[in-house]
Chain A
Amino acid sequence: MDIKLEFGGGAELLFDNQKQYKITLENKKTPWLIGDLLFWMKDNLLKDRPELFLQNDSVRPGILVLVNDTDWELMDTVRYEIKPNDSILFISTLHGG
Protein backbone atom coordinates (compact mmCIF):
# COMPACT_ATOMS: atom_id res chain seq x y z
CA MET A 1 0.00 0.00 0.00
CA ASP A 2 1.46 3.37 -1.07
CA ILE A 3 0.94 6.42 1.11
CA LYS A 4 2.42 9.88 1.47
CA LEU A 5 3.96 11.31 4.64
CA GLU A 6 4.44 15.05 5.08
CA PHE A 7 6.14 17.13 7.76
CA GLY A 8 5.84 20.78 8.73
CA GLY A 9 6.26 23.35 11.50
CA GLY A 10 9.71 21.97 12.34
CA ALA A 11 8.76 18.26 12.53
CA GLU A 12 10.74 17.76 9.31
CA LEU A 13 13.91 18.46 11.31
CA LEU A 14 13.51 15.03 12.89
CA PHE A 15 13.28 13.41 9.47
CA ASP A 16 16.43 14.52 7.73
CA ASN A 17 14.90 17.94 7.01
CA GLN A 18 12.85 16.31 4.26
CA LYS A 19 9.26 17.54 4.06
CA GLN A 20 7.77 14.71 2.05
CA TYR A 21 8.20 10.94 1.86
CA LYS A 22 6.41 8.48 -0.43
CA ILE A 23 6.42 5.15 1.31
CA THR A 24 5.13 1.63 0.71
CA LEU A 25 3.71 -0.37 3.59
CA GLU A 26 3.98 -4.17 3.25
CA ASN A 27 0.68 -6.04 3.42
CA LYS A 28 -0.01 -7.56 6.80
CA LYS A 29 -2.78 -9.68 8.32
CA THR A 30 -4.36 -6.88 10.34
CA PRO A 31 -5.18 -3.42 8.94
CA TRP A 32 -2.49 -0.74 9.15
CA LEU A 33 -3.42 1.71 11.88
CA ILE A 34 -1.66 5.05 12.37
CA GLY A 35 -0.40 3.62 15.65
CA ASP A 36 1.41 0.89 13.64
CA LEU A 37 2.70 3.49 11.20
CA LEU A 38 4.28 5.53 14.02
CA PHE A 39 6.41 2.54 15.03
CA TRP A 40 7.22 1.81 11.39
CA MET A 41 8.43 5.42 11.10
CA LYS A 42 10.52 5.07 14.23
CA ASP A 43 12.21 1.96 12.80
CA ASN A 44 12.58 3.13 9.20
CA LEU A 45 12.71 6.91 9.03
CA LEU A 46 13.63 8.46 12.36
CA LYS A 47 17.31 9.26 12.49
CA ASP A 48 17.80 10.00 16.14
CA ARG A 49 16.06 11.13 19.31
CA PRO A 50 12.74 9.26 18.84
CA GLU A 51 11.52 10.80 22.13
CA LEU A 52 11.08 14.10 20.27
CA PHE A 53 8.52 12.44 18.00
CA LEU A 54 6.97 9.62 20.01
CA GLN A 55 5.67 9.37 23.53
CA ASN A 56 4.21 6.08 24.74
CA ASP A 57 2.02 4.78 21.89
CA SER A 58 1.35 8.10 20.19
CA VAL A 59 3.06 11.23 18.92
CA ARG A 60 4.60 13.55 21.46
CA PRO A 61 2.05 16.09 22.75
CA GLY A 62 2.34 19.26 20.67
CA ILE A 63 2.64 17.45 17.33
CA LEU A 64 -0.54 17.75 15.25
CA VAL A 65 -1.55 15.02 12.84
CA LEU A 66 -3.77 15.50 9.79
CA VAL A 67 -5.05 12.70 7.60
CA ASN A 68 -5.96 13.95 4.14
CA ASP A 69 -6.14 17.48 5.60
CA THR A 70 -8.39 16.51 8.48
CA ASP A 71 -7.45 16.62 12.17
CA TRP A 72 -6.80 13.03 13.30
CA GLU A 73 -8.65 13.82 16.55
CA LEU A 74 -11.81 13.53 14.45
CA MET A 75 -10.65 10.16 13.15
CA ASP A 76 -9.89 8.08 16.20
CA THR A 77 -6.21 9.17 16.28
CA VAL A 78 -3.85 6.17 16.56
CA ARG A 79 -6.69 3.76 15.75
CA TYR A 80 -7.40 5.27 12.32
CA GLU A 81 -7.22 2.61 9.61
CA ILE A 82 -4.88 3.73 6.82
CA LYS A 83 -6.14 3.51 3.24
CA PRO A 84 -4.11 3.44 0.01
CA ASN A 85 -2.93 6.89 -1.17
CA ASP A 86 -3.66 8.52 2.19
CA SER A 87 -1.66 11.62 2.90
CA ILE A 88 -0.59 11.93 6.52
CA LEU A 89 0.83 15.24 7.75
CA PHE A 90 2.71 15.84 10.99
CA ILE A 91 3.01 19.49 12.13
CA SER A 92 5.02 20.44 15.15
CA THR A 93 3.66 23.27 17.30
CA LEU A 94 6.72 23.11 19.51
CA HIS A 95 9.08 25.11 17.34
CA GLY A 96 9.79 28.79 17.13
CA GLY A 97 7.51 31.60 18.14
Chain B
Amino acid sequence: MPACSTKCGKNAILKRPKTGDALCKTCFFEAFENEIHFTIERAKLFRPGSTVAIGASGGKDSTVLAYVLKLLNEKYNYQLKLVLLSIDEGITGYRDDSLNTVKQNQEDYGMPLKIMSYKDLYGWTMDEIVAEIGRKNNCTFCGVFRRQALDRGANLLKVDYLATGHNADDIAETVLMNILRGDLARLNRCTSIITDCGDGIPRVKPLKYTFEKEIVMYAYFRKLVYFSTECVFAPNAYRGHARVLLKDLEKIDPTVIMNIIQSGETIKVNETAKTPSLTRCTQCNYVSSQEVCKACILLEGLNKGLPRLGIGKSSKVKRLLKENEEKNKSCCRNDTQESACICKANLPSIK
Protein backbone atom coordinates (compact mmCIF):
# COMPACT_ATOMS: atom_id res chain seq x y z
CA MET B 1 0.00 0.00 0.00
CA PRO B 2 1.50 3.39 -0.96
CA ALA B 3 2.41 5.95 1.69
CA CYS B 4 0.76 9.36 1.94
CA SER B 5 2.36 11.89 -0.45
CA THR B 6 2.74 14.41 2.38
CA LYS B 7 5.27 12.06 4.05
CA CYS B 8 3.18 12.06 7.22
CA GLY B 9 3.97 8.39 7.65
CA LYS B 10 0.46 7.02 7.22
CA ASN B 11 -0.88 4.82 4.47
CA ALA B 12 -2.69 6.53 1.60
CA ILE B 13 -6.38 5.80 1.11
CA LEU B 14 -7.12 7.77 -2.02
CA LYS B 15 -5.63 9.00 -5.26
CA ARG B 16 -6.68 12.58 -5.88
CA PRO B 17 -8.05 13.03 -9.39
CA LYS B 18 -6.98 16.68 -9.54
CA THR B 19 -3.33 16.23 -8.63
CA GLY B 20 -2.61 12.50 -8.69
CA ASP B 21 -1.40 12.72 -5.07
CA ALA B 22 -1.93 9.72 -2.80
CA LEU B 23 -3.28 10.91 0.55
CA CYS B 24 -4.10 9.36 3.92
CA LYS B 25 -7.50 10.01 5.47
CA THR B 26 -6.36 12.89 7.70
CA CYS B 27 -4.41 14.65 4.94
CA PHE B 28 -7.31 14.14 2.51
CA PHE B 29 -9.83 15.75 4.88
CA GLU B 30 -7.48 18.66 5.39
CA ALA B 31 -6.78 19.16 1.68
CA PHE B 32 -10.46 18.83 0.77
CA GLU B 33 -11.66 21.32 3.37
CA ASN B 34 -8.80 23.76 2.84
CA GLU B 35 -9.40 23.92 -0.89
CA ILE B 36 -13.05 24.84 -0.33
CA HIS B 37 -11.98 27.43 2.25
CA PHE B 38 -9.45 28.82 -0.22
CA THR B 39 -12.13 28.98 -2.95
CA ILE B 40 -14.46 30.86 -0.60
CA GLU B 41 -11.73 33.27 0.52
CA ARG B 42 -10.29 33.97 -2.91
CA ALA B 43 -13.70 34.73 -4.43
CA LYS B 44 -14.77 36.62 -1.27
CA LEU B 45 -18.00 34.61 -1.48
CA PHE B 46 -19.61 35.63 1.81
CA ARG B 47 -19.72 38.87 3.78
CA PRO B 48 -19.23 38.22 7.51
CA GLY B 49 -22.47 38.29 9.47
CA SER B 50 -24.69 37.25 6.56
CA THR B 51 -27.27 34.48 6.31
CA VAL B 52 -26.73 31.68 3.79
CA ALA B 53 -29.42 29.29 2.58
CA ILE B 54 -28.00 25.96 1.46
CA GLY B 55 -30.04 24.37 -1.33
CA ALA B 56 -30.41 20.89 0.19
CA SER B 57 -31.67 17.91 -1.78
CA GLY B 58 -30.46 15.21 0.59
CA GLY B 59 -28.01 14.06 -2.10
CA LYS B 60 -24.24 13.76 -1.75
CA ASP B 61 -23.29 17.24 -2.92
CA SER B 62 -25.60 19.29 -0.72
CA THR B 63 -25.01 17.01 2.27
CA VAL B 64 -21.24 17.50 1.97
CA LEU B 65 -21.73 21.23 1.32
CA ALA B 66 -23.79 21.65 4.49
CA TYR B 67 -21.27 19.67 6.55
CA VAL B 68 -18.22 21.51 5.22
CA LEU B 69 -19.79 24.99 5.43
CA LYS B 70 -20.70 24.34 9.06
CA LEU B 71 -17.19 23.08 9.77
CA LEU B 72 -15.41 25.96 8.00
CA ASN B 73 -17.78 28.54 9.49
CA GLU B 74 -16.73 27.39 12.96
CA LYS B 75 -13.06 26.82 12.15
CA TYR B 76 -12.42 30.09 10.32
CA ASN B 77 -15.12 32.19 12.00
CA TYR B 78 -16.96 33.27 8.82
CA GLN B 79 -19.73 34.49 11.17
CA LEU B 80 -22.41 33.05 8.90
CA LYS B 81 -25.89 31.95 9.85
CA LEU B 82 -26.62 28.78 7.88
CA VAL B 83 -30.09 27.49 6.97
CA LEU B 84 -31.25 24.58 4.82
CA LEU B 85 -33.69 25.15 1.94
CA SER B 86 -35.32 22.18 0.23
CA ILE B 87 -37.68 21.88 -2.68
CA ASP B 88 -40.40 19.25 -2.70
CA GLU B 89 -41.12 18.64 -6.37
CA GLY B 90 -43.80 16.11 -5.53
CA ILE B 91 -42.13 13.03 -7.02
CA THR B 92 -43.37 9.94 -5.24
CA GLY B 93 -40.65 7.44 -4.40
CA TYR B 94 -37.89 9.99 -4.87
CA ARG B 95 -38.24 13.34 -3.22
CA ASP B 96 -40.45 12.14 -0.39
CA ASP B 97 -37.66 9.78 0.67
CA SER B 98 -34.80 12.21 0.16
CA LEU B 99 -36.54 14.88 2.23
CA ASN B 100 -36.22 12.54 5.21
CA THR B 101 -32.45 12.69 4.68
CA VAL B 102 -32.60 16.49 4.72
CA LYS B 103 -34.60 16.37 7.94
CA GLN B 104 -31.83 14.20 9.37
CA ASN B 105 -29.27 16.82 8.28
CA GLN B 106 -31.37 19.47 10.01
CA GLU B 107 -31.05 17.56 13.28
CA ASP B 108 -27.41 16.52 12.86
CA TYR B 109 -26.15 19.96 11.90
CA GLY B 110 -28.58 21.99 14.01
CA MET B 111 -29.68 24.15 11.08
CA PRO B 112 -33.21 25.45 10.48
CA LEU B 113 -34.97 23.87 7.47
CA LYS B 114 -37.50 25.37 5.07
CA ILE B 115 -39.30 23.17 2.53
CA MET B 116 -41.02 24.76 -0.50
CA SER B 117 -43.30 22.57 -2.58
CA TYR B 118 -44.19 22.80 -6.28
CA LYS B 119 -47.77 22.12 -5.26
CA ASP B 120 -47.89 25.23 -3.06
CA LEU B 121 -45.93 27.42 -5.47
CA TYR B 122 -47.39 26.33 -8.80
CA GLY B 123 -50.44 24.26 -7.98
CA TRP B 124 -48.92 21.18 -9.64
CA THR B 125 -46.75 18.33 -8.38
CA MET B 126 -44.20 16.78 -10.78
CA ASP B 127 -46.24 13.57 -10.67
CA GLU B 128 -49.23 15.53 -12.00
CA ILE B 129 -47.12 17.35 -14.59
CA VAL B 130 -45.68 14.08 -15.91
CA ALA B 131 -49.22 12.70 -16.18
CA GLU B 132 -49.96 15.66 -18.53
CA ILE B 133 -46.76 15.99 -20.53
CA GLY B 134 -45.34 12.47 -20.51
CA ARG B 135 -41.71 11.63 -19.86
CA LYS B 136 -40.02 13.43 -22.71
CA ASN B 137 -39.85 17.06 -21.61
CA ASN B 138 -40.63 16.69 -17.92
CA CYS B 139 -37.10 17.68 -16.84
CA THR B 140 -37.61 21.08 -18.52
CA PHE B 141 -40.51 21.77 -16.17
CA CYS B 142 -38.67 20.50 -13.15
CA GLY B 143 -35.50 22.47 -13.87
CA VAL B 144 -37.28 25.77 -14.60
CA PHE B 145 -39.60 25.41 -11.61
CA ARG B 146 -36.85 24.41 -9.18
CA ARG B 147 -34.63 27.33 -10.03
CA GLN B 148 -37.46 29.75 -9.28
CA ALA B 149 -38.59 27.76 -6.24
CA LEU B 150 -35.13 28.07 -4.68
CA ASP B 151 -35.07 31.82 -5.34
CA ARG B 152 -38.58 32.26 -3.95
CA GLY B 153 -37.62 30.24 -0.87
CA ALA B 154 -34.47 32.31 -0.43
CA ASN B 155 -36.56 35.50 -0.69
CA LEU B 156 -39.02 34.21 1.84
CA LEU B 157 -36.22 33.37 4.29
CA LYS B 158 -34.66 36.81 3.66
CA VAL B 159 -31.19 35.32 3.25
CA ASP B 160 -28.19 37.10 1.76
CA TYR B 161 -26.89 34.16 -0.31
CA LEU B 162 -28.13 30.94 -1.80
CA ALA B 163 -25.40 28.27 -1.85
CA THR B 164 -25.79 25.23 -4.09
CA GLY B 165 -23.81 21.99 -4.20
CA HIS B 166 -22.76 22.18 -7.86
CA ASN B 167 -19.40 20.44 -8.14
CA ALA B 168 -16.59 20.61 -10.72
CA ASP B 169 -18.03 17.70 -12.71
CA ASP B 170 -21.47 19.37 -12.84
CA ILE B 171 -19.99 22.62 -14.11
CA ALA B 172 -17.84 20.91 -16.75
CA GLU B 173 -20.98 19.03 -17.82
CA THR B 174 -22.92 22.29 -18.12
CA VAL B 175 -20.13 23.87 -20.20
CA LEU B 176 -20.29 20.89 -22.57
CA MET B 177 -24.09 21.03 -22.75
CA ASN B 178 -24.11 24.73 -23.54
CA ILE B 179 -21.55 24.19 -26.29
CA LEU B 180 -23.55 21.29 -27.72
CA ARG B 181 -26.70 23.42 -27.71
CA GLY B 182 -24.99 26.58 -28.94
CA ASP B 183 -26.37 28.45 -25.93
CA LEU B 184 -23.86 31.32 -25.79
CA ALA B 185 -25.64 33.32 -23.10
CA ARG B 186 -25.54 30.41 -20.69
CA LEU B 187 -22.03 29.37 -21.77
CA ASN B 188 -20.92 32.86 -20.84
CA ARG B 189 -22.25 32.74 -17.27
CA CYS B 190 -22.39 29.04 -16.32
CA THR B 191 -18.86 28.96 -14.88
CA SER B 192 -19.32 31.97 -12.58
CA ILE B 193 -18.82 31.07 -8.94
CA ILE B 194 -21.28 33.79 -7.99
CA THR B 195 -24.28 34.72 -10.12
CA ASP B 196 -26.38 37.72 -9.35
CA CYS B 197 -29.85 37.98 -10.84
CA GLY B 198 -30.18 41.74 -10.87
CA ASP B 199 -31.43 42.71 -7.43
CA GLY B 200 -32.10 39.09 -6.54
CA ILE B 201 -30.19 36.95 -4.08
CA PRO B 202 -26.72 35.95 -5.30
CA ARG B 203 -26.20 32.23 -5.90
CA VAL B 204 -22.83 30.84 -4.94
CA LYS B 205 -21.10 27.53 -5.69
CA PRO B 206 -18.46 26.82 -3.05
CA LEU B 207 -17.84 23.31 -4.47
CA LYS B 208 -17.14 24.67 -7.95
CA TYR B 209 -13.62 23.24 -8.03
CA THR B 210 -14.36 20.10 -6.01
CA PHE B 211 -14.36 16.81 -7.91
CA GLU B 212 -17.32 14.50 -7.63
CA LYS B 213 -15.04 11.58 -6.76
CA GLU B 214 -13.65 13.46 -3.78
CA ILE B 215 -17.11 14.53 -2.61
CA VAL B 216 -18.26 10.90 -2.58
CA MET B 217 -15.03 9.74 -0.91
CA TYR B 218 -15.29 12.52 1.67
CA ALA B 219 -18.90 11.60 2.48
CA TYR B 220 -17.86 7.95 2.78
CA PHE B 221 -14.88 8.50 5.07
CA ARG B 222 -16.73 11.11 7.16
CA LYS B 223 -19.65 8.67 7.36
CA LEU B 224 -22.14 11.29 6.18
CA VAL B 225 -25.58 9.91 5.37
CA TYR B 226 -26.97 10.95 2.01
CA PHE B 227 -29.69 9.85 -0.35
CA SER B 228 -28.73 8.28 -3.66
CA THR B 229 -31.77 7.09 -5.55
CA GLU B 230 -31.93 8.32 -9.12
CA CYS B 231 -34.92 10.50 -9.89
CA VAL B 232 -37.63 8.19 -11.22
CA PHE B 233 -38.11 10.50 -14.21
CA ALA B 234 -34.44 11.23 -14.98
CA PRO B 235 -33.45 8.65 -17.62
CA ASN B 236 -34.61 10.88 -20.47
CA ALA B 237 -32.70 13.96 -19.43
CA TYR B 238 -30.32 15.34 -22.05
CA ARG B 239 -27.76 16.05 -19.34
CA GLY B 240 -27.18 12.32 -19.04
CA HIS B 241 -25.49 12.21 -22.46
CA ALA B 242 -23.09 15.04 -21.59
CA ARG B 243 -22.41 13.22 -18.34
CA VAL B 244 -21.48 9.92 -20.00
CA LEU B 245 -19.19 11.74 -22.42
CA LEU B 246 -17.50 13.59 -19.56
CA LYS B 247 -17.05 10.46 -17.42
CA ASP B 248 -15.47 8.64 -20.35
CA LEU B 249 -13.05 11.53 -20.91
CA GLU B 250 -12.33 11.77 -17.19
CA LYS B 251 -11.28 8.15 -17.15
CA ILE B 252 -8.58 8.86 -19.72
CA ASP B 253 -7.38 11.96 -17.85
CA PRO B 254 -9.17 13.45 -14.80
CA THR B 255 -7.69 16.91 -15.39
CA VAL B 256 -10.06 17.24 -18.35
CA ILE B 257 -12.65 18.44 -15.81
CA MET B 258 -10.56 21.42 -14.74
CA ASN B 259 -9.55 22.08 -18.35
CA ILE B 260 -13.19 22.33 -19.46
CA ILE B 261 -14.05 24.65 -16.56
CA GLN B 262 -11.03 26.80 -17.39
CA SER B 263 -12.07 26.93 -21.05
CA GLY B 264 -15.56 27.98 -19.98
CA GLU B 265 -14.15 30.68 -17.70
CA THR B 266 -11.81 32.21 -20.24
CA ILE B 267 -13.89 31.82 -23.38
CA LYS B 268 -15.00 35.17 -24.72
CA VAL B 269 -18.33 35.25 -26.46
CA ASN B 270 -18.15 37.33 -29.63
CA GLU B 271 -19.74 40.68 -28.87
CA THR B 272 -21.67 40.67 -32.10
CA ALA B 273 -23.33 37.39 -31.08
CA LYS B 274 -26.89 37.95 -30.05
CA THR B 275 -27.39 37.34 -26.35
CA PRO B 276 -30.66 38.17 -24.64
CA SER B 277 -30.61 40.87 -21.98
CA LEU B 278 -32.21 40.15 -18.63
CA THR B 279 -35.44 41.86 -17.73
CA ARG B 280 -38.44 41.06 -15.52
CA CYS B 281 -41.39 38.83 -16.26
CA THR B 282 -44.47 40.96 -16.83
CA GLN B 283 -46.61 38.35 -15.08
CA CYS B 284 -44.70 37.33 -11.94
CA ASN B 285 -41.82 39.85 -11.87
CA TYR B 286 -39.19 37.10 -11.77
CA VAL B 287 -35.95 37.79 -13.66
CA SER B 288 -36.34 36.68 -17.28
CA SER B 289 -34.82 37.09 -20.73
CA GLN B 290 -38.28 37.20 -22.30
CA GLU B 291 -41.33 39.35 -21.65
CA VAL B 292 -42.96 36.41 -19.91
CA CYS B 293 -40.69 34.04 -17.99
CA LYS B 294 -40.37 30.35 -18.82
CA ALA B 295 -42.09 29.22 -15.62
CA CYS B 296 -45.18 31.36 -16.36
CA ILE B 297 -45.30 30.04 -19.93
CA LEU B 298 -44.98 26.41 -18.80
CA LEU B 299 -47.57 26.99 -16.10
CA GLU B 300 -49.97 28.71 -18.47
CA GLY B 301 -49.65 25.73 -20.80
CA LEU B 302 -50.41 23.31 -18.00
CA ASN B 303 -53.38 25.29 -16.73
CA LYS B 304 -54.86 25.73 -20.21
CA GLY B 305 -54.48 22.09 -21.18
CA LEU B 306 -51.62 22.95 -23.62
CA PRO B 307 -48.73 21.34 -21.71
CA ARG B 308 -46.34 21.62 -24.67
CA LEU B 309 -46.72 25.41 -24.86
CA GLY B 310 -43.31 26.26 -23.42
CA ILE B 311 -41.45 23.42 -25.14
CA GLY B 312 -39.64 24.31 -28.32
CA LYS B 313 -39.54 27.48 -30.40
CA SER B 314 -40.16 30.78 -28.64
CA SER B 315 -41.83 32.22 -31.77
CA LYS B 316 -44.58 29.65 -31.42
CA VAL B 317 -44.96 30.57 -27.77
CA LYS B 318 -45.25 34.26 -28.65
CA ARG B 319 -48.03 33.59 -31.13
CA LEU B 320 -49.99 31.41 -28.70
CA LEU B 321 -49.48 33.91 -25.89
CA LYS B 322 -50.75 36.75 -28.05
CA GLU B 323 -53.92 34.81 -28.68
CA ASN B 324 -54.28 34.18 -24.99
CA GLU B 325 -53.55 37.78 -24.10
CA GLU B 326 -56.72 38.89 -25.84
CA LYS B 327 -58.73 36.50 -23.73
CA ASN B 328 -56.80 37.33 -20.57
CA LYS B 329 -57.15 41.10 -20.83
CA SER B 330 -59.92 41.12 -18.30
CA CYS B 331 -57.86 39.44 -15.58
CA CYS B 332 -54.16 39.92 -16.33
CA ARG B 333 -54.33 43.61 -17.18
CA ASN B 334 -56.75 44.48 -14.43
CA ASP B 335 -55.05 44.89 -11.09
CA THR B 336 -58.22 44.77 -9.04
CA GLN B 337 -58.87 41.23 -10.19
CA GLU B 338 -55.25 40.15 -9.95
CA SER B 339 -55.93 36.98 -8.00
CA ALA B 340 -58.39 35.81 -10.63
CA CYS B 341 -55.62 35.28 -13.17
CA ILE B 342 -54.33 31.73 -13.23
CA CYS B 343 -50.66 32.67 -13.24
CA LYS B 344 -50.92 35.28 -10.53
CA ALA B 345 -53.03 33.09 -8.33
CA ASN B 346 -50.27 30.52 -8.21
CA LEU B 347 -47.13 32.62 -8.42
CA PRO B 348 -46.65 35.14 -5.63
CA SER B 349 -44.72 38.10 -6.97
CA ILE B 350 -41.08 38.44 -5.98
CA LYS B 351 -40.27 41.60 -4.01
**Which chain A residues have a beta carbon within 8 Å of chain B's beta carbons?**
8-10, 13, 60-62, 64, 66, 69-71, 73-75, 91-97
- Contacting B60 at CB < 8 Å: which of A9, A62, A69? A9
- Contacting A61 at CB < 8 Å: which of B11, B15, B60, B251? B251
Q: In chain B between 11 and 64, which residues have their CB closer than 8 angstroms to a CB of chain A?
A: 11-15, 22, 57-62
Give every chain A residue within 8 A of B61 (Cβ-Cβ): 97
Give every chain A residue within 8 A of B280 (Cβ-Cβ): none
Q: List 6 A-B contacts (CB under 8 A).
A: A70-B1, A70-B11, A74-B1, A91-B216, A96-B227, A97-B57
> How long is the Cα–Cα vector from A70 to B57 in the complex, in angstroms?
28
Give every chain B residue within 8 A of A70 (Cβ-Cβ): 1, 11-14
The DSSP consensus for interface residues of chain A is loop
> How long is the Cα–Cα vector from A65 to B226 in the complex, in angstroms?
18
Residue among A75, A92, A96 with max Cβ neighbours from chain B (10 Å) = A96
Give every chain B residue within 8 A of A71 (Cβ-Cβ): 12-15, 217
Cβ of B2 under 8 Å from chain A: yes
Task: Produce 1/0 per residue, B139-156, CB < 8 A to A.
Answer: 000000000000000000
- A73 to chain B: closest CB distance in Å? 4
**Please, which residue of chain B has its CB at the minimum distance from the CB of A95?**
B228
- Contacting A73 at CB < 8 Å: which of B15, B98, B228? B15
Give every chain B residue within 8 A of A75 (Cβ-Cβ): 1
Contacts A61-B248, A70-B1 given: A93-B98 contact, CB under 8 Å? Answer: no
> How long is the Cα–Cα vector from A73 to B165 in the complex, in angstroms?
26
Give every chain A residue within 8 A of B212 (Cβ-Cβ): 62, 93
- Contacting A62 at CB < 8 Å: which of B165, B230, B247? B247
Give every chain A residue within 8 A of B59 (Cβ-Cβ): 96-97
Give every chain A residue within 8 A of B165 (Cβ-Cβ): 97
Give every chain B residue within 8 A of A92 (Cβ-Cβ): 228
- A64 B60 Cβ-Cβ under 8 A: no
Give every chain B residue within 8 A of A91 (Cβ-Cβ): 216, 220
Cβ of B291 under 8 Å from chain A: no
Cβ of B324 under 8 Å from chain A: no
Give every chain B residue within 8 A of A13 (Cβ-Cβ): 229-230
- Contacting B247 at CB < 8 Å: which of A61, A66, A69, A97? A61
Cβ of B213 under 8 Å from chain A: yes
Give every chain A residue within 8 A of B160 (Cβ-Cβ): none
Give every chain A residue within 8 A of B231 (Cβ-Cβ): 96
